[in-house]
Structure 1
Amino acid sequence: MLERVAVLSDVHGALPALEAVLAEPEVAAADLIVVTGDVAAGPQPVEVLDLLTGLGARVRWVRGNADRELVQARAGRPSEHDVSNWAAEQLRADQVVLLAALPLTLTLPVAGLGPVLFCHATPRDDEEVVLVDSRPARWAEVFAGLPPEVRTVVCGHTHMPFTRLVDRRLVINPGSVGMPYGGPGRTGHCSVRGCSCAVRDSTSTRPVPGSPPGRAIRTPPPGRTSTCAPGTATSTRSPPSPRATAADRRPAPERTDGTGRGHHGA
């Protein structure tokens, strides 16, 4: 049974940000690190994958839509995102094999929480969009196939950090390590444990030498921590409305047929 799990989401090939997050005390003290997808589609894909694989069995992985797109690009199906096509060409063959083998979800036992499900977007799809203010019926639809004993779900994809109690479950989104949504102060990882969950914020931004044009990343210094107690929290911590931020970071709206699709983030 794990006592504490550190969750890193949406690194997007940002090596300095990843290095800074791995040095955080909460991450260093964790029993396990779970990377919830979209790892390498960004300026330093090879180095990011080498750093994480170098940690061996201490890191567990799930697949993000951008990881899938890298594999597809190497197989001759280019992405609509230039940075993904560029990143795919940088990867070694063993790294493509790694990304191709990543699972959609991962469920681990965490003390005080029981089975915790980790995914990128939702438990059933790697690019479906649900937001902190999505209606409860939408969350119930997304979680319809989950076993009743899974009471905690950790996701990523939207780059928007929040915690919410919905559909009888605690939902945690740590935000993005490499491409935080909504400007400075939104870079995040989280520590999941039985007594609390902590979402970390960081603020520094700097360009990466040698990266593709137009790429900049957040490099996390020590930041603010927001905590909630599973089963007792009633408030929701959320970033600004997507309407208040740049169009190229906007997740797809929920469609009238009940589906929400596609936030790439790269």
Structure 2
Amino acid sequence: MKLGILADAHGNLAAFERALTELADEADEVLVAGDAFSDHRFSNEIVKLIRCAGAHYVLGNHELSFLSPANARARESSRVSRLELDFVSRAPTELRVRLGGMRVLMVHGSPWPPYGRYLDPGSPEFDHADELDADLVVLGHTHLPMARRVRGTLVVNPGSVGMSDQPGLGDSVGYALADTGSGEVSFRTFPNPRRAS
């Protein structure tokens, strides 16, 4: 089974649509590891794409901020679709599911408390990833692509599909494709359509 893995769209609809289009013929399942939109700007379009694709989805820190009491007024805006807001409101912050025979754990930030931490690819916490009772751990938050195997556990961060702030990638955004059979992970990048001239 092939898993399309996306995170951190931050409302970049054109990039998110392109990634989903590219994955349509390859991925058996799609996982979205949070921050589909930025906390100050809800994206009806991206949320609808996630919902209609039947993607596995967890909330990121930006969704949690939007759902917080401080953003009650923003949620009442006539521009926010009630259907899409209800979908986001019901989404979890942690998802455990079995896909392609793998036990998958998906979160946005750290799988260990405090959950909002930024764990870069070299973070020593990942040395204990095999203690998470998962074969595949998916996360986002840092916008840094990584695939790291710790004994029997594979940890994947697809990078950001919405923001070009990854060192060395210039104006590129991207996502990952993981094969549950072989354990191989490939990273796909393309020019950020927000910055196209």
Shift of 1:188: 1.5
Aligned to 1:252: none
SS in 1 for 2:92: coil
Q: Unpaired segments of 5 or more residues in structure 2?
A: none
Structure 1: segments with no counterpart, 5+ residues: 80-84, 208-217, 219-266
Question: Which letter does structure 2 place at the counterpart of 1:202?
Answer: F
CA distance in 2, matches of 1:61, 1:126: 16
Give the alignment partner of residue 165 of structure 2, picking from 181, 187, 201: 181
- The match for 1:238 is none
Shift of residue 122, structure 1, vs aligned partner: 2.1
Matches within 5 A, 1:100-249: 100-111=89-100, 114-124=102-112, 126-135=115-124, 138-140=125-127, 143=129, 146-147=132-133, 150-166=134-150, 168-182=152-166, 183-184=169-170, 186-193=172-179, 194-195=181-182, 196-206=184-194
Query: Contact 1:160–1:180 (CA<8 Å) still a contact in 2?
Result: no
- The answer to whether the Cα contact below 8 Å between 2:108 and 2:141 also exists between their aligned partners in 1 is yes
What's the CA shift for 1:69? 0.8
- What is the CA distance between 1:168 and its match in structure 2? 4.9
After superposition, the C-alpha distances for 1:88-122 in whole angstroms (9 at most, x for unaligned) are 844223322222211122223333x6212121112
Aligned-partner SS, 2:67: helix
Which residue is equivalent to 1:34? 31
**Map of 2:65 onto structure 1:** 69
Percent identity over the alignment is: 26
- Superposed CA offset, 1:133-163 (max 9, x none): 212xx2246x48622xx13211111111111
Partner SS state of residue 23, structure 1: helix
CA distance in 1 between counterparts of 2:34 and 2:99 reads 20
For the 8 Å contact 2:51–2:87, the answer to whether it is kept is no
State the alpha-carbon separation in 2 of the partners of residues 88 and 191 from structure 1.
36
Alignment deviations for residues 63-82 of structure 1 (CA, whole Å, 9 cap, x no partner): 1111111111xx4x149xxx
Structure 2 distance, partners of 1:175, 1:93, is: 29
Query: Partner of 2:14: helix, strand, or coil?
Result: helix
- Distance in 2 (CA, whole Å) between partners of 1:12 and 1:38 is 6
CA apart distance, 1:127 = 1.9
Q: CA shift at 1:191, angstroms?
A: 1.3
Residue 138 of structure 2 aligns with an amino acid whose one-letter code is V
TM-score where L is the length of structure 2: 0.81
Higher relative contact order (CA 8 A, sep 6+): 2
